[in-house]
Structure 1
Amino acid sequence: MSILSAGLLVFSATLTCPVPAMAKVAESPIIADFEEHGVNVGSENWIRDPQTGEIVPAPPNYVSDDPNQYKADLQCQVDDNALDKKCLPGQVQCPPREPGGKSGTPVIWKVAPKAIPNPTWIDWKSGNNGPSCLYDQKPEDVLPRIAARIESDFRNLPIKPADLTAQPSPHTLKGAETNIFADAVEQQFDVTLLGQRVHIVATPVEYSYAYGDGNSLGPTPFAGGPLPEAEWGQKTRTSHVYQQTGDFRVSVTTTFRGTYSVNGGPNMPIPGTGQFVSPSLKVSVWRSITRNYADNCIVNPRGEGCPGVP
């Protein structure tokens, strides 16, 4: 059965259709899947990957928030029932992506709003603004590609860095222990990579402190923690003693490690780590002076330190 005599074809299986005799220049077969109105890439089956912009198969039970739906026409399709014979020799070549794999199908993607019944389809502006290759991707086929890019994608997640606190603050004393600590939490993300549902867990594991006076601590697994006010000035694993007065900017960089799972599968470690810097915290270091007095402000209201006395 040739494509020209196929009539209305159903998109349910992969068919290898030879090129008509008068178009022998295109020696590679056309591998195409058909529905009532062309290649079946409805919004319930295909989604646009927000990371790459590529239209990819949607995973099972995936619900997309994309307001658009997509379908593809064969590059040389004239209408639902025929192909342009003159176009066939010059169509895009879609060789297999790997040895022994299937060839792709040269298509032109169309886009329309989901909310409109029987919409008018327009050309979707893909990366090359022209025909592209449609491959029959299965979830297991894209796992190596997800693994290859998961590390860089992890570092670009909107992971919230640690909250940074100093005690006492915003003023502390020269020569005294200033308790500085970070508060970071485990975070979870659900993203779509290459059309697959990927669940990522980011866990804080190390902290690097910069105290603003040239001294630093870390990387250390210790985040530190708050002290009761009555214990301010005591040494902690992350506290610091300033030897000079002035204003200093304290900062902390939190290192996160991650795991990911694809379509509800097992958790796998993400190679490498991600470093996320918290907003700096201003600490003003003051000096303390101790003086002894023989009377008080009632006896000597003009004494040093009494109200109204410079």
Structure 2
Amino acid sequence: MKEVFVYSYAPACASETDSPVVSTCAALNSRCSAEPGGQMVVWERQDTRKKGAPWERLEQACLYPGKPPERPGDVVIAVTEKQLRELPIKGPKLGSQPGRHTLKGAETNIYAEPSDQSFSITIVGKKVAIRVTPSEYRWSYGDGTSLVTAVPGGPLPESRWGEKTVTSHVYAATGDVNVGLTTVFTGEFSVDGGPYQAIAGNAPVPSMPKALSVWRSEVKLYADDCTANPAGQGCS
């Protein structure tokens, strides 16, 4: 198949550089130290399908005597969904209010404590930085009900315990339950300090389940007047 681009390169110190820190050719070429005589060059390409198309500046590369520089585009580096899911991403910790014990028929505030995470891997000799961010929360309340939210929720001050929140749940029966959460992470990657690019796909990561005991509240009526009979039933 005929190639649609033509490529060219020129010494990087003869053109504008991307970094104002590099002010001399010597400083720029010192980056190419893998072999003697290294020189930094800049690749450009032109789309042959478009008449008079401008030259598009690509990236810098090192040129060594007797060896052609590696042309940008020969190796396309990308992070796959499989690689994303193999990262040691940690699921967020679960919290609950009023705590380990809650009441049947009352709002139990369940929330997650997520964080952005960063990793570094190497692909074909290139350093690849990866950062992941939570994008979706899939809740399982342990009583057969579930919920999907875009936010992790959060703790409430004690004076507001029992209020409905976006991630709270009302248990209809007493008993012990295990609350589960799967957080879906999306990611971006950067090759050798370049711009970040989105990773296609996502990584679902389960959290450690949280055990809750759902209790029944009781209200009892008493006939004793505690003022007249402080020792009466219900007055202690």
What's the TM-score once normalised by structure 1's chain length?
A: 0.50
Q: Which residue of 1 aligns with 2:164?
A: 235
Tell me whether 1:277 sits opposite 2:199 in the alignment: no
Over alpha carbons, which structure has the higher Rg? 1
Query: How far, CA to CA, are the matches of 1:297 and 1:246 in structure 2?
Result: 38
Contact 2:81-2:201 at 8 Å conserved across structures: yes
Structure 2 partner of 1:204? 134
Give me the whole-angstrom Cα distance separating, in 1, the residues matched to 2:110 and 2:209.
Answer: 12
Aligned to 1:245: 174
Name the aligned partner's letter for residue 113 of structure 2.
D
Match of 1:224 in 2: 153
- Name the CA distance, whole Å, in 1 between partners of 2:87 and 2:74: 20
> Aligned in 2, Cα 1:142/1:230: closer, same or farther, shift over 3 Å?
farther
Structure 2 counterpart of 1:168, one-letter code: P
Distance 2:152 2:166 in 1: 9
Cα-to-partner distance string for 1:187-228 (whole Å, 9 max, x where unaligned): 11122222210000101111000000000001x202111111
Could you say what secondary structure the match of 2:80 adopts? helix
In structure 2, runs of 5+ residues without a counterpart are 1-32, 35-67
CA distance in 1, matches of 2:172, 2:110: 16
Matched with 1:261 is 190
| 2:105 counterpart of 1:175 | yes
Correspondences of 1:112-191 after superposition (within 5 Å): 138=70, 140=72, 143-144=75-76, 146-147=77-78, 150-191=80-121
> How far apart are residue 177 of structure 1 and its match?
0.4
CA distance in 2, matches of 1:297, 1:193: 80
Equivalent position SS for 2:208:
coil
Match of 1:66 in 2: none
8 Å CA contact retained: 1:139, 1:196: no
Q: 2 CA distance for matches of 1:139 and 1:176?
A: 64
Is contact 2:188-2:197 (8 Å) kept?
yes
- What's the % identity of the aligned pairs? 45
Q: Is the 8 A contact 1:198 1:263 kept in 2?
A: yes
* Greater share of strand: 2
- Does the 8 A contact of 1:297 with 1:303 survive in 2? no
The structure showing larger relative contact order (alpha-carbon pairs under 8 Å, at least 6 residues apart) is 2
For the Cα contact (< 8 Å) 2:180–2:208, is it kept in 1? Answer: yes
Give the whole-Å Cα distance in 2 for the aligned partners of 1:209 and 1:139.
48
Alpha-carbon distance change, 298 to 150 in structure 1, aligned in 2, over 3 angstroms: farther
Which structure 1 segments of 5+ residues have no match? 1-43, 46-135
CA contact (8 A) 1:142 1:194 kept: no
Q: Quick one: distance in 1 between partners of 2:139 and 2:128? A: 32
In 2 relative to 1, CA 290–139 (structure 1 residues): closer, same or farther, beyond 3 Å?
A: farther
Secondary structure of residue in 2 paired with 1:254: strand
